Amino acid sequence: MRWVMKKSYLLFVFLICFHPFINAQLMNWAPLTNHHFSLIEFSTNGVFYALSESNKKAYRSTNDGDDWEEILSVGVSLTAIKSKGDTIFIGCDNGKFFISNDLGNSFNLLKTFPSRINSIAYAELPDSSYLLLGTKSSGVYISSNFGSTWISINLLNKNIINVKIIGYKFFAGTYMGSLYISEDRGQTWNQKIISAANESINAIERAQSDSVIYLAAKDIYKSTDNGNTWTLSYSFNYGAGLNDIKYSSIENEIFAGDYSSKDGGITWQKVFPGWDVLSIAIKDSTTFILNFGTPSFNGLYKEDHNPYQGEYYFPLAVGNAWQYLGYSYSYNGISSSSSYSLMAINVLYDTLISDIKYYRINGSGFNNFFRYEDNKMYRYGVTGDVLWMDFNLKAGQTFQSGNITITVGDGYKDLFGHKRYYKSTEYSPVFWGREWKHYNDSVGYSYSYYTETGPMGSSYQRNSNIIQAKIKIGDSLFLYKANYVPTINIEAAFIQNDSMFTIGITANHPYDKSGSTPQGSIFFVDSVEIEYFFSKGSDSTKTFRKHLNHQPNSNFFIDNIYFPDSFYYNTYDLNYRFYSNDRGIIPTYAVNPETGYLVFHLDPTGVKSDGIKNISFKLYQNYPNPFNPTTTIQFAVGGTQHVSLKVYDVLGNEVALLVDEEKSPGNYSVEFNAGKLSSGVYIYRLAAGSKTISNKMIVLK
């Protein structure tokens, strides 16, 4: 792993007039599927290719990175790629060089070179088509007949990390060395000393014409005479160097790492929030960046130069409602406490103030009158309108809300099954505290986090995450929720006497949270009903419904069912199932079991049986997912049998055994702690008898 050191800009305010750097204007970046990619490349026909050096595979996408398919795996790291039309060239760590002439559907080995292939260039010149390879320890290789024969150029055993063909010139950049240029198809080479610091020449890119060329090293260099002379365009002083540089002809913009310039390299601005960009690809007006160094922005991202800005970051209509799961933690220097709560925001009514329509919002810090106009949100206070949020601003820009300066941010977040774009605010309501809020397009206020520090090491944090929302936009009503259902576990089921049956159950829900006290905990199931009837053979009673008594500050429900003693002495069956209702603003009504009934046999001899009819063998999706470090896995067993629940890595190695015992019919849950596992995808598999079910889960640290 390479560590990159950035410059300090503590004197930024004083140096801005003298340094070719302007304020950061971060673009809107959307994350894409990423298979640990290390290099990305667009072909001239619009097909997207990517290499994964760690996975030792090549991938292809025909829909701009939304979906990927594997096209090559040869058991060694793939290190270089170049494509032109339907033709693809791929180089490997062990020197193998492959070609495909059918978009990657099949590959042929052209040649094996003595060392790692770092870079590939291809160009069709008037006299022939040329292939140019840069290798780790055996110099440059040139072919003018599509790889049938090769010329070897030693270049003093240099590590050639980048090659390029621009116009009639061949370029070769070395590691911790110089730039070499050939004007005679590689017969002779001239050395160019770019800087006295022996910077590695990581990338070379043509700009507006063959004469304008940019070099990416620790800094950015520019030539306007086809590489004969070079000047410093901007000093980034990246310790290991900028990895890539690409030119967008549509926007006349040069991208170098996480920066770009729209004025020919005179000024540069930071456009990507990460800081170690591995590779850049550009298609039409869209830029794709593969980032490594910043954990929260690792992966593949794309940015459209005309991004959708959103219209309804806080949809206002009477009846709109949002529900949140809140958490708070406090430490007084000696002891700590935590608590959870359910919170809600509701739009109660609208009214006119000075002939302007406002909406009365109630709950969770929004107790006031608000209006939304021109993608701005205003709150009406004692001094009149106060700007609450300007959603037109880009990340990094600021605005004033009263006497508070607010900084705008943005990003993408998984919300209700989709990645959704959000704008955020960051500000200090008091000098010792800091608060962040997220607003998702077409959803509204979705997340907040507040932290403060006090004397003697004391601290306080709170956050809230949206769990449900009812949103009306125009004539359309949108209901946002996760379709979670509770798990009903029977804790007690027994005969009290010859006319009374007692049953007690726990109703577990993914939103259940345990605080320091029962009063600071959340038990999300609101009520449970039992539906039951008595039967013997073809004889059965009518169906009855009864609410179970909910024990305070718990997820435990219990009650008695009375029946004629003749049922008891004539060995009737008690058939029952449960209906539950949760505390959501969009309640979920669930039936357990989904089909059939649980059966309790009324037996005066004392030999009683409780079985389950039509209970399915099920493995539920773990929650939360992704998780760090613990998650809960729930499963159901339909008959008494030996059950195993195991966790595997993607290579099929068993990493945990969670259950390995006989289970009676019913629903179960188990907590899995992945504290000793690395981030990644894992498979958990439930097996009972001849049946197996598997699901995927993600550890994200």
Residue 699, token pair as written in the block: 């550890």
Residue 205: inside a domain: yes
Q: What's the pLDDT at 2? A: 28
Lowest mean pLDDT among 466-470, 497-501, 536-540, 659-663: 497-501
* Residue 30: pLDDT over 60: yes
Q: What's the pLDDT at 6? A: 29
Rounded distance, CA 88 to CA 102, Å?
A: 8
Are 686 and 555 found together in one domain?
A: no
The CATH number of residue 520's host domain is 2.60.40
From 173, 192, 88, 74, select the one nearest 131 (Cα to Cα): 88
* Residue 84: pLDDT over 80: yes
* Residue 634: pLDDT over 50: yes
Are 339 and 383 found together in one domain?
A: yes
Domain's final residue, options 431, 446, 481: 481
Rounded distance, CA 88 to CA 100, Å?
A: 5
Tell whether the torsion through CA atoms of 134, 140, 142 and 148 is positive or negative.
negative
Are 331 and 466 found together in one domain?
A: yes
Rounded distance, CA 619 to CA 610, Å?
A: 22
Q: What's the pLDDT at 281? A: 94
Q: What's the pLDDT at 149? A: 92
The CATH number of residue 666's host domain is 2.60.40.1930
- Listed in sequence order, the residues at least 6 apart from 371 whose beta carbon sits closer than 8 Å to its beta carbon are 316, 356, 357, 358, 359, 377, 378, 380, 385
* 6 or 398, which is more confident: 398
From 211, 157, 206, select the one nearest 180 (Cα to Cα): 157
* Residue 370: pLDDT over 70: yes
- Residue keyed to tokens 């493995």: 619
Are 427 and 563 found together in one domain?
A: no
Lowest mean pLDDT among 21-25, 122-126, 286-290, 506-510: 21-25
Residue 269: inside a domain: yes
Residue 133: inside a domain: no
Domain's final residue, options 423, 447, 481: 481
* Residue 135: pLDDT over 80: yes
Are 325 and 425 found together in one domain?
A: yes
Are 328 and 469 found together in one domain?
A: yes
Residue 585: inside a domain: yes
Model confidence band, residue 529 (pLDDT cutoffs 50, 70, 90):
very high
Residue 553: inside a domain: yes
Collapse the DSSP code of 354 into the 3-class scheme (helix H, G, I; strand E, B; otherwise coil) and give the result.
coil
- Mean pLDDT of the 504-517 span: 88
Q: What's the pLDDT at 60? A: 96
Domain that holds residue 389: 321-481
Residue 168: inside a domain: no
Model confidence band, residue 558 (pLDDT cutoffs 50, 70, 90):
confident
Rounded distance, CA 507 to CA 557, Å?
A: 8
Count CB neighbours of 282 within 10 A.
Answer: 19
Rounded distance, CA 582 to CA 508, Å?
A: 10
Are 330 and 370 found together in one domain?
A: yes
Rounded distance, CA 552 to CA 549, Å?
A: 9
Model confidence band, residue 305 (pLDDT cutoffs 50, 70, 90):
low
**Domain count along the chain:** 4
The CATH number of residue 262's host domain is 2.130.10.10
In a 10 Å sphere around its CB, with 0-12 CB exposed, 13-18 middle and 19+ buried, how is residue 236 labelled? buried
Are 598 and 462 found together in one domain?
A: no
Are 302 and 201 found together in one domain?
A: yes
Domain's final residue, options 277, 307, 337: 307
Are 250 and 298 found together in one domain?
A: yes
Are 302 and 329 found together in one domain?
A: no
Q: What's the pLDDT at 610? A: 41
Q: What's the pLDDT at 168? A: 87
Q: What's the pLDDT at 151? A: 92
Residue 183: inside a domain: no
